[in-house]
Copies of this chain bind each other. A is one copy, B any other.
Amino acid sequence: MSGGWVTVAGLGPGDAALVTPEVTAALAQATDVVGYIPYVARVAPRPGLTLHATDNRVELDRARHALDLAAAGARVVIVSSGDPGVFAMASALFEALEAHPGRQGADIRILPGITAMLAAAARAGAPLGHDFCAINLSDNLKPFTEVERRVRHAARGGFAMAFYNPRSRARPHQFGQVLSLLRAECEPERLVLFARAVSTPEERLTCVTLAEAAPEMADMRTVVIVGNQATRRVGRWVYTPRGVPA
C-alpha cells in the first residue's frame, strides 16, 4: 500500500488564522486534496499537489475516490469547512468505508477544526455558554418531521440551539416553519442570532428577538443560534449565563 493515507481536515470557517497547525501540516504533506469546490479553493496550489474539486451532494463518491487514491499510495486530504465531524465529510468517509470492506485497513485520521457555530458564538459573545444542541435543518438526509421533532425537544429541554443549513434556494420555506414552531414553544423576547460567513469579508451578524426573526435573514452561509430563556445582551454582546438558578 506504499504509505498512502486519508486525512479528513477541518479548515475552520474561513479565516486562515483559524486553521490549526495540525491541518496546515497535513496539507503540506498531501499529494491530493479532494473536496467541495469552495473548500478546495481555500488550499494554495503547489507543485506535486493535485486538487480534486467536486460539486455538492457527491459526498460518498468523493469519500470513495479518496480511499481509492490512498490505496494506490496517495496522501489524501479531504477538506471540510469548519469541523469535519459536524455535518461534514467525516461521517461520509465512514459510510463509504462501511460500504467497501476492502478499504477498512486504510490509514485514516480525522483532524478537528473550528466549527461554524463556535466561530459565530465567539464573534457574538457567548450564546452557547450553557447546554446547547446542534441541528442540521436540511431535510436532504432525514424527513423534515424529524427536524421539527428535534427542535421541539431542544426547546422544551431548555437548550440553546445552533442551526446549520437553515435555508437554501431549494428549501426556502422550511426555516419559516421552524420559526413558527419556536414561536409556539418560546417567549417572543427569545434572542436569535443570524451569523453569516463568519471570519470572511462577507461576515454579517444580526441579533433580533424571536418575534422579529424572519426567514429571509438566513441563507446557506448562515448559522442561526437561538438562545435559551436566560440568553441576554450586555453592551454589544449576546451571552448565555453558565447556570440555571435553583
Contact = CB atoms under 8 A, between A and B. Distances in A.
A235 interface: yes
B104 A111 contact: no
Number of copies: 2
A21 interface: yes
Contact of A91 (B22, B135, B154, B241): B241
B159 A90 contact: no
A146 B114 CA distance: 29
A65 interface: no
A141 B243 CA distance: 5
10 contacts: A17-B20, A83-B122, A91-B126, A91-B241, A91-B242, A94-B234, A112-B121, A131-B136, A131-B150, A132-B133
Given A112-B114, A115-B118, 4 more contacts: A17-B21, A86-B128, A134-B134, A153-B159
